[in-house]
Amino acid sequence: MKIKAYTLFTPSHKKFLYEYLLDSFKHNENIELTILHRPQLCETAEFGTEGWHGTMYYKANCFYEKLKECGDDEIFMFIDPDIVIYRDFYDDIVKRMETVDMVFQNDGPGGVNTGFFAVKNNKKTRAFFNTVRGNLEKFEEEQRTTNHLLRNLQNFPQIQVKWSMLPNEYFTFGHIAGQPDGKGGLKGHWVNTDDKFPIPKNIFIHHGNWTRTKDDKYKILDVVRDRINESRL
């Protein structure tokens, strides 16, 4: 079974694409990766700033349109460019998809993360992502919309999908962000002086989110990559 995987980048994320994702993407004849390019709408390339939501609209449409191009029950994947791959995840994803329609990276307090997920192409999942598109105005971005729908599936009889979270080996700092900070709150976004946070032993991927700036995104990806490379010496 082949997986049709897609990544989407704008000029501001070209370095992420080539120096992080593609540099770590090892050849697997069962994963067909397609690179999609989008003009720069968000000048800062930072979450929530002007132009961000326009890019998210395009991303949501991409999910639906590319899913429709897959064969029946074929697996569609989406992989953000700010991801580094450390182990071949093909067998693991295919096995997990045997009993569900969709699997998502666990984003901790954020719920599911739509920067790394896999979906079977079927009537239910097409309806699900079409409903995501139809609710973007209310929630402004595809990840919030996806999380709202998954939390309220009982209100949407046409999209009764089965889904699950991927384990922490599909790593993001979100797994740590929801932990107590010792001051009565939660740790939240990564602090760029923290390079000692726990990393899963058998990590498949690292998604460089839960950062406040693009520079911090580079830095957290480098911190994890350096620590893993050192552990393999």
The predicted pLDDT at position 148 comes to: 95
Phi first, then psi, for residue 180 (nearest 5°) are -60, 140
Q: Which of 154, 159, 134, 156 is nearest to 145 (CA)?
A: 134
The answer to whether 27 touches 5, Cβ cutoff 8 Å, is no
**Max Cα-Cα span within the chain:** 52
The CATH code belonging to domain 3-167 is: 3.90.550.10
Could you report the per-residue pLDDT of 60-102, keeping only the tens digit for each? 889 999 999 999 999 999 999 999 999 999 999 999 999 999 9
48: alpha, beta or left? (left if phi > 0; alpha if psi -120 to 50): left
Could you report the per-residue pLDDT of 92-149, keeping only the tens digit for each? 999 999 999 999 999 998 799 999 999 999 999 999 999 999 888 788 789 999 999 9
The predicted pLDDT at position 31 comes to: 97
Give how far Cα 193 sits from Cα of 212, 223, 225, Å: 13, 10, 16
- Give the per-residue SS3 of 78-115: EECCCEEECCCCHHHHHHHCCCCCEEEEECHHHCEEEE
Residues 6 or more apart in contact with residue 34 via CB below 8 angstroms: 4, 5, 6, 7, 66
**Which strand (E) or helix (H) includes residue 58?**
helix 52-68
- Mean of the per-residue pLDDT values for the chain? 90
For the entire predicted model, the pTM comes to 0.92
